[in-house]
Amino acid sequence: MRLTLSLGLLINDALEDDVIVTVIATGFDQKAAPLPKQVNGPIPQPIKEQPLMDEEEQSIPSFFRSR
């Protein structure tokens, strides 16, 4: 596969600490890679939503919280 990369930079002081990234992809006229084979098996279950921590819990490093 061949990659052509064009890079440009524009500094906008009005953005302050923000950054805007624009990506333009080209070369779609090439033959696409084959799709992977379907895998049969159990359907993954969604992750159970965890309750939000209060301010005191957030101040404790995670490696101490799990003990």
| Model pLDDT, residue 1 | 60
| Model pLDDT, residue 9 | 82
| Model pLDDT, residue 50 | 73
User: pLDDT (tens digit, 0 to 9) for every residue of the chain, 67 residues total?
Assistant: 667 777 788 888 898 888 888 877 776 666 777 877 877 888 888 887 777 777 777 777 777 776 5
| Model pLDDT, residue 55 | 76
Domain boundaries, the chain: 1-26
**In angstroms, what CA-CA distances link 16 with 2, 12, 22, 57, 58?**
36, 8, 18, 32, 28
pTM of the full predicted structure? 0.31
